[in-house]
Chains A and B, each alone.
Chain A
């Protein structure tokens, strides 16, 4: 079931202009900002690309995910899907996998940066690898949040905006966290702080677990929301 959903979602997604426009935007802004960073630092570092790409994913992943469930709900095809005895989980996981794969493909040309760094300098490949792992995990978590937002509404722009603002809150969760009584918790929820270790070259199991569990929590809630529609 999940595989079928993934295949169908990928076909629909890549037949739409969304991944192409998202890819062009992401690579354009990332390319400009990253090359500026390289020109300023004059060091063969991949590290500056990670937070830039991370923040761009924050803004662009919801666009890839917004239609996942919301469009099905709007067009009425979700009711058809829910009429067959299929649990919400494989449906949601399939849509999430398709969105994640799409975001990874859109992100993939960052590997070109590494080749260019190798050409003009001698980058440390360890942080490159960890940075790519961090971005892939972040993309997975953001895609899950996007699918969750999409499952809560039948309006695509609302789904995209909701996912973006939730992601934004998580990105800046650490800001002024020390002033709050729950500062420690907020700090741990900050996806930008979690990404920082990957960017630097360190893969921490707690950071990996954070992104995996964030995705798991979002998908669990999304599956519950889809199942809730069936009951309605």
Chain B
């Protein structure tokens, strides 16, 4: 009897040990098309650094087709590191929680929090989650240097044309801001994780070389041009496969502009795969100009067009002369590309140097008067997130699973219900009845 008890205890202990070992040493096979649920090496590296609780709260509508995939992805993060805790909430059920975490319930998104610090991301994708966790882990906030000294709007200006709202937004998103007076000291300090250059109205002079040198050394810059300025910023961005084409974009599509205002396109065509414009609400870009992107930018450089106006728009090259009329001799027919994102990777003997530039053909959208409109604020934050992230994080491949639409009409839904919940159960009952009848007849 005692021997049996010992054998039983030994067998159960062996099973427990095997269970423990299988949890410690395990492999996985991702059977999804495109391996959309396999975590990348970068994600695994970042998760390996997490040694305190990180709470991930994803806000996705219950009917959102990506909800199940998001939950699976979050489960994989948790499986990898149990410091990651997650919840998937419907923002319409939990508006208070969404408000507390500063998530727009109509847009959804994901909030990552740890020790009182909160980071936000627009989508529950590997790139966004990993980047958010990396930002939480960063020991110091990224420093954004705000260029000044050449007539740029100020981050301290609370009036309509100022940038104080944007400054507050960036601080909320974990950035430290450092204003630079490039007129007094034309140099970008090495501590700048990113440079923000917004519509200088006076020639940059030596500051232009300083910015070019900063970028050449692996710098990151957000360059906002504006048709109102006479300063040509093309020389700064041309090295990175982008050209600012001066003029004024006029939007002819009523559905793609502010009411009766052809000078204020509302851009919603974000066909780019760049994370800068991922899941963006329409962006209002009043009085903007074009930014062309090179189709064959050269070795190590990739350039993505970010957004374009409608087919009914055009770029007026001489708006003072032609007004709102299209001049086929000089004007450019839409769609007009109004932004670009460039990524230059240089391998310097084992060390990778990465330069990133985002150029947009408008600056008004970033001002206090307009930054709260549509997706304007999010465009700026996403652009800066993409610009300033460390290179080992931003290369995380996106793992958005392909959508697989189901052609389900009312009639087909009824048919599905009829077959699955009607015919099949009936067959079981019929089989059972037949067996019963046969047994009874014997």
Interface residues of A (CB under 8 A from B): 14-15, 17, 19-21, 23-25, 27-32, 34-35, 38-45, 47-48, 106, 109, 112-113, 116-117, 120-124, 126-127, 129-130, 178, 184, 187-188, 193, 196-197, 199-206, 209-210, 213, 216-217, 220-221, 224, 227, 231
What band does the interface of chain B fall in when counting residues whose beta carbon is under 8 Å from A?
35 or more
Chain A residue contacts of B432, Cβ below 8 A: 17, 19-21, 24
| B300 at interface by CB-CB < 8 Å | no
Picked from B401, B420, B431, the residue with its CB within 8 Å of the CB of A113 is B420
Chain A residue contacts of B121, Cβ below 8 A: none
Chain B residue contacts of A205, Cβ below 8 A: 22, 26-28
Distance (whole angstroms) from the CB of A167 to the closest CB of chain B: 18
In the complex, residue of chain A having the shortest beta-carbon distance to the beta carbon of B19: A213
Picked from B29, B31, B425, the residue with its CB within 8 Å of the CB of A25 is B425
The reply to whether A42 and B15 contact each other, CB–CB distance below 8 Å, is: no
| B75 at interface by CB-CB < 8 Å | yes
Which of B235-243, B288-296, B382-390, B404-412 contacts the other chain?
B404-412
Which of B61-69, B177-185, B273-281 contacts the other chain?
B61-69
28 inter-chain pairs at a CB distance below 8 angstroms, sorted by A residue, are A17-B436, A20-B431, A24-B426, A27-B425, A28-B421, A31-B417, A31-B421, A31-B425, A35-B416, A43-B65, A45-B65, A45-B404, A47-B72, A113-B420, A117-B406, A120-B408, A121-B405, A121-B407, A122-B404, A124-B404, A126-B30, A178-B85, A193-B75, A200-B72, A202-B30, A203-B28, A203-B31, A209-B26
How far apart sit A8 and B413, CA to CA, in the bound complex (Å)? 42
| B79 at interface by CB-CB < 8 Å | yes
Chain B residue contacts of A48, Cβ below 8 A: 68
The reply to whether A209 and B22 contact each other, CB–CB distance below 8 Å, is: yes
Within 8 A of A (CB), among B263-282: none
In the complex, residue of chain B having the shortest beta-carbon distance to the beta carbon of A184: B82
The reply to whether A121 and B406 contact each other, CB–CB distance below 8 Å, is: yes
Chain B residue contacts of A23, Cβ below 8 A: 425, 428
Picked from A43, A127, A184, A203, the residue with its CB within 8 Å of the CB of B406 is A43
Distance (whole angstroms) from the CB of B134 to the closest CB of chain A: 23
| B159 at interface by CB-CB < 8 Å | no
In the complex, residue of chain B having the shortest beta-carbon distance to the beta carbon of A133: B31
Picked from A17, A41, A124, the residue with its CB within 8 Å of the CB of B63 is A41
The reply to whether B30 and A35 contact each other, CB–CB distance below 8 Å, is: no
How far apart sit A35 and B411, CA to CA, in the bound complex (Å)? 12
How far apart sit A56 and B407, CA to CA, in the bound complex (Å)? 27
For A106, A109, A221, the residue with the greatest tally of chain B CB atoms inside 10 Å of its CB is A109
Chain B residue contacts of A127, Cβ below 8 A: 31-32
The reply to whether A199 and B72 contact each other, CB–CB distance below 8 Å, is: yes
Picked from B68, B404, B420, the residue with its CB within 8 Å of the CB of A30 is B420
- With A35-B413, A38-B408, A40-B63 as known contacts, state yes or no: A200 contacts B428, CB within 8 Å: no
Interface residues of B (CB under 8 A from A): 1, 4, 8, 11-12, 15-16, 18-19, 22-23, 26-33, 36-38, 62-63, 65, 68-69, 71-73, 75-76, 79, 82, 85, 401-408, 412-413, 416-417, 419-422, 424-426, 428-429, 431-433, 435-436, 439
How far apart sit A199 and B32, CA to CA, in the bound complex (Å)? 10
The reply to whether A201 and B30 contact each other, CB–CB distance below 8 Å, is: yes
Chain B residue contacts of A126, Cβ below 8 A: 30-33
How far apart sit A30 and B428, CA to CA, in the bound complex (Å)? 14
In the complex, residue of chain B having the shortest beta-carbon distance to the beta carbon of A116: B416
In the complex, residue of chain A having the shortest beta-carbon distance to the beta carbon of B416: A35
How far apart sit A127 and B29, CA to CA, in the bound complex (Å)? 11
Picked from B85, B401, B412, B439, the residue with its CB within 8 Å of the CB of A120 is B412
Closest 4 CB pairs of A and B: A20-B432, A200-B72, A31-B420, A126-B31
The reply to whether B424 and A109 contact each other, CB–CB distance below 8 Å, is: yes
- With A23-B428, A197-B79 as known contacts, state yes or no: A202 contacts B29, CB within 8 Å: yes
- With A34-B420, A121-B406, A210-B22 as known contacts, state yes or no: A39 contacts B413, CB within 8 Å: yes
- With A20-B431, A28-B425 as known contacts, state yes or no: A202 contacts B22, CB within 8 Å: no
Chain B residue contacts of A43, Cβ below 8 A: 65, 403-406
